Amino acid sequence: MSQHWKQLALVGLISGGVSVGALELLHQTNQNVILKEAPLASLAKLTSAGSPAGVPGDFTYAADVSMPAVVHITSTIKTRGESAQQLQIPEAFREFFGDRAPNSQQGPQKQQASGSGVIISPDGYIVTNNHVVEGAEELEVVLNNKHTYKAKVIGTDPSTDLAVIQIPAKNLQALTFGNSDAAKIGEWVVAVGNPFNLESTVTTGIISAKGRGLGIIGQKQQNEFSGPARKGDSPLESFIQTDAVVNPGNSGGALVNLKGELVGINTAIASPTGSYAGYSFAVPSNLVKKVAGDLIKYGNVQRGYLGIMLDELDSKKADEYGVKETEGVYVKSFSPNSAAKDAGLKPGDVIVKVDGNNVNTVPQLQELIGRKQPGESAKLTISRDGSVKDVAVTLRNRDGGNQLLKPDAAEVVLNDLGVQLNDLSPREKTVLKENGIEGGAKVGNIEAGKLSRAGVQEGFIITKLNGKAIHSVQEFKNAIEGKKGTRVQIEGIYSDEPTDSFTFGFNV
């Protein structure tokens, strides 16, 4: 992440000192939900419905329509396990927390954090940010009419920082999905949420940019296919940037146009202090609709891939690559089983459009492709050696196949835990064996998740799960499968102190 964007924060991550995470994932296979969608041409180039261009509009209609559909979410988590290990704070957020984690005294501590959500169907489905519900043991939802419900998590997608939860209620007022592609820079928008626990707060601003990729969801990669470090979908960022005032607690709230149509889910702010400092960022509604629909129907996101390594162009890069185009996305190389390569794309091609939409950045292309499922077709307009042509590409899943992917129960748990596990090297096995330990699974990259909040640090070697010896990553996956919704206990060591054993307990 560049230093310039190090002062970005997920909205609400800083609100209570701790952000919160996932409850039980309920995969509702093949269940459809009816989402209200506005006509494609509904977003007029006006400051408000019926107002002439250039005249500030009346925001009361948008507020009246959207406020009943925006909810207040309170998440409760245990911030520590049975160990006194210190909480791990992501590097990007240390300037807001300081080096010492809150509530770092020994023993489990319950904390609450709050965020927002948007009702997307009358039968209780609510979309919010993944970082609002991540790691939560309990979720409470308060409607605009003050009715309170306990919520369950239907599914989460860390790659877009989106999640879907549900409350046991019917006949709710749901927001209509607008067409975020049609939203224009300079257009008035309204942000609705619950900053600083101030319920049902409305602020206004304009769209100041689109297609922003900030590198705050995981590690930013200039590619379109899943990175090798961790199995799963690579981060997908193509934010709508606004100057509507958004603060901690607005996470998961609505960004609507002046017709009261949802055009984005508020997710992040640019800030040196943790509070609003001029810009906020929202996941565009067309992507939200795709992700939420997939989570409800399949339990995971069915994301299509081209399988290409990309780079953005400017005059300097154009000279470097020897192409005339300074706009578009440059094709550098291909992944194994690349759909784009098999369709006829070549290194050196410049992708200038996807399905007729101009693309100038990697996030723009990722969003347009990420809305599609494996097996669907995308029309790429490419420039090659001075000529422009259209190429139809049948998209594939992250594994290189055309079929939809079923949720992998063990991978879901690992994503929830926020870790990558690796098998031990021969040398590590030898060291452990000298201390009477036959094997284990080593914690590699660690992100915000249940293990980091329990105090587990990178390099920790899991040797037991619920008292059963663990010798490899696969054994851990086999042991954790079927444990969703229960409390588990892991034991392990650090290789530099193999005689000291640590125990952590948490819900999965």
Which residues define the annotated binding site? 131, 161, 249-251
Is 233 catalytic? The answer is no
Report how far apart, in Å, the C-alpha atoms of 164 and of each of 24, 75, 176, 267, 450 are: 12, 14, 16, 14, 19
> Which SS3 state, helix, strand or coil, does residue 370 take?
helix
* Catalytic residue (one of 48, 66, 159, 161): 161
What is the C-alpha R_g of the chain?
23
Is 349 catalytic? The answer is no
Tell me the β-bridge partners of 70.
Answer: 118
H or E element at residue 500: strand 497-507
d(CA 236, CA 224): 9
* Catalytic residue (one of 121, 234, 251, 383): 251
- Angle at 91 (CA atoms; ends 291, 301), nearest 5 degrees: 10
Residue with tokens 């209609």: 61
Give the residue numbers of the binding site for substrate: 131, 161, 249-251
> Which SS3 state, helix, strand or coil, does residue 292 take?
helix
Nearest to 507 by CA among 18, 21, 19: 21
Cβ atoms of 281 and 212 within 8 Å: the answer is yes
User: Regarding beta strands 377-384 and 387-394, do their DSSP bridges make them parallel or antiparallel, or are they unpaired?
Assistant: antiparallel
DSSP code for 179? -
User: Regarding beta strands 110-119 and 70-78, do their DSSP bridges make them parallel or antiparallel, or are they unpaired?
Assistant: antiparallel
Is 251 catalytic? The answer is yes
d(CA 340, CA 368): 15
Tokens of 284: 């565009």
Range 443-482 burial, b when 16+ CB lie within 10 A, else e: beebbbbbbbbbbbeeebbbbbbeeeebbebebbbebbee
Q: Evaluate the CA torsion angle 221, 222, 223, 228 in order and state its sign.
A: negative
d(CA 127, CA 254): 10
Residue with tokens 């009943």: 68
d(CA 471, CA 465): 11
Tell me the β-bridge partners of 152.
Answer: 166
Tokens of 5: 């964007």
Residue with tokens 């953005």: 312
> Which SS3 state, helix, strand or coil, does residue 508 take?
coil
Report how far apart, in Å, the C-alpha atoms of 352 and of each of 330, 359, 360, 382, 386 are: 9, 5, 7, 6, 13
Q: Alpha-carbon dihedral of residues 41, 44, 48, 54, nearest 10 degrees? A: 170
* Catalytic residue (one of 48, 75, 131, 338): 131
Cα diameter, the chain: 79
Active site positions, annotated: 131, 161, 251
